[in-house]
Amino acid sequence: MVEVKIDPTTRIEGHHGMELQVEDGQIAEAKSTMKMFRGAEIITVGRSPRDAAQLTGKVCGVCFICHRIGSSRATEDAAINAGAFDGIPEHAKILRDAVEGIFFLWNHAIHLFALVGPDYSDAVADTGFDRLDPLEGDGYQGALENQRKLMQALAEFGGRAPHPLAFVPGGVATNPDVSTVQTVKSRVREVSNWLGPTDAVPDVLENVQNGEFDPELGEGLHDVVSILVAAAREGAADLGSGPNRYYSNGLFREPESGERIFKRGVYRDGSFEPMTKDEIVAAISEDTEYSYYTEESAGKPTEAQPPEPEPEKDGAYSWGKAPRFDGETMEVGPLARLTISGYDPFDLRANLGGGFDESNTLNRLIARAQEVLIVRDRVLDLLDAFDPNEPLMADFPDNYTGKGVGLWEPSRGTLSHYVDVEDGEIERYQIITPTLWNIGPRDGEGNPSIIEGAIVGDEVADIENPINVMRTIRSFDPCLACSVHVDSPEGSYETELKPASPGGMTDVGSD
């Protein structure tokens, strides 16, 4: 038995590691270790519900919109349950959906080109796809330019990115005019043109397989399909097999019918089970047997206390909890959403990944690429349905007593915020992130998390370069606590800040 430790595993930030036991060239056991205590829930206690979105929105420097919306939905739900609030305006809902859709496109581009793409590039894996080469590849550089355009579009509505201030309890605290909406549409269309038309996928797939490139069919689409073709050739369909159990909170309502584009519920035993919000909330629990938290921090997130650290706990190996749905692990993310909703555009997962509902490393990549096209085709519809002249904010109460849950669906998977408010102050707060569902630790029954189980059985040809292990880990798009951490050395330093607008420079000193 050979022990292999990989730390960090991600390209986005370094708070995750894997401890592997390798026997006869195969992984016999895996432990997913989260290395940092976050504690955002504790910070909210004693504060006004209005503060929760501002505080929890900084849980992540990448998923910066979803936490603000999830938190706002939780405090709004608590106020509604208290009989003190009637809900947010309709066009605030549409704008929240549209912004989340733009964020999906931005985040998926980061994942496909910067976080996963290099694993299938010529520079890293000799695949021949040099457009995917990090920093220098034309496809990589094109993706960066279009991510910038999407971030600019987000800033038009949110005021800044990351960590916009506009999404608050009560709706959206911004006043976009027709010109702003048109500017956002223009930027999204530019990105859409770079990506290429959805119906070109079959032709682009044939081009990539034959080593051809036709920019008229979409530069971005050729590069995204190149990642999928490279992954298929590298055997990714035989890696990272999960239990084919999926969970989604649902997202993106059709403006006219109100039906969700991505359905809410679970998929298990080969079939979809639609669920209400109350049924989902009742099914979720968290286990802390192998987490650096007390036993009192476990249980139903609607009842358990905010996470209480126990860093010296025997047997623990992760700062993440182990969420379970009816006692079972559930995979979340693009593959979960598309499987639950019955989407497999052009039968890519069925034909390339062993089945539309099969959980494996290749299908996670395919589903993310498919979702880019699905969401791209919906974002402009949402923007067309949005009327900036309609109300976007409703009066939100300052003093109420109630319990609320905010279910949301970021690009990485299901997110839920839980809040108890007593006389206008937060008494209890809990957050379950998508990453916890996918890469948390074992539970008290010894059942591994989704990622721990997916890696077991995979071959490790070279323990000095376990690239297939990394490919599987990154296929889940793990994201833990990617905020900016500053550690000031002793002594003094000085730096110059150049403002974006004219007016000189400011010297900043510190001891």
Annotated binding-site members: 41, 60, 63, 431, 479, 482, 485
196: its two tokens: 């290429």
Q: How far apart are CA 206 and CA 226, in angstroms?
A: 11
Which residues contribute to the annotated binding site for Ni(2+)?
60, 63, 479
76: its two tokens: 């709004």
As a whole number of Å, the CA-based R_g of the chain is 23
Nearest 5°: CA angle at 221, between 217 and 223? 120
Tell me if 465 sits within 8 A of 32, measured CB to CB.
no
Q: How far apart are CA 119 and CA 113, in angstroms?
A: 10
| Inter-axis angle of helices 219-233 and 361-385, nearest 10 | 160
Query: What amino acid is encoded at 102 in this protein?
Result: I
Tell me if 201 sits within 8 A of 221, measured CB to CB.
yes
Chain length of the chain: 511
Q: 467 to each of 456, 459, 463, how far by Cα in Å? A: 15, 10, 9
> Among candidates 47, 34, 35, 172, which has minimal Cα distance to 429?
47
> Among candidates 63, 105, 107, 179, which has minimal Cα distance to 380?
105
Which residues contribute to the annotated binding site for Mg(2+)?
41, 431, 485
Tell me if 29 sits within 8 A of 134, measured CB to CB.
no
Q: How far apart are CA 249 and CA 66, in angstroms?
A: 13
Tell me if 323 sits within 8 A of 284, measured CB to CB.
yes
Query: What amino acid is encoded at 43 in this protein?
Result: I
Q: Which residue has the tokens 């094109």?
A: 142
85: its two tokens: 């609030």
- The dihedral region occupied by 229, where left means phi > 0, alpha psi between -120 and 50, and beta the remainder, is alpha
To which H or E segment does residue 425 belong? strand 425-432
Which residues contribute to the annotated binding site for Fe cation?
63, 482
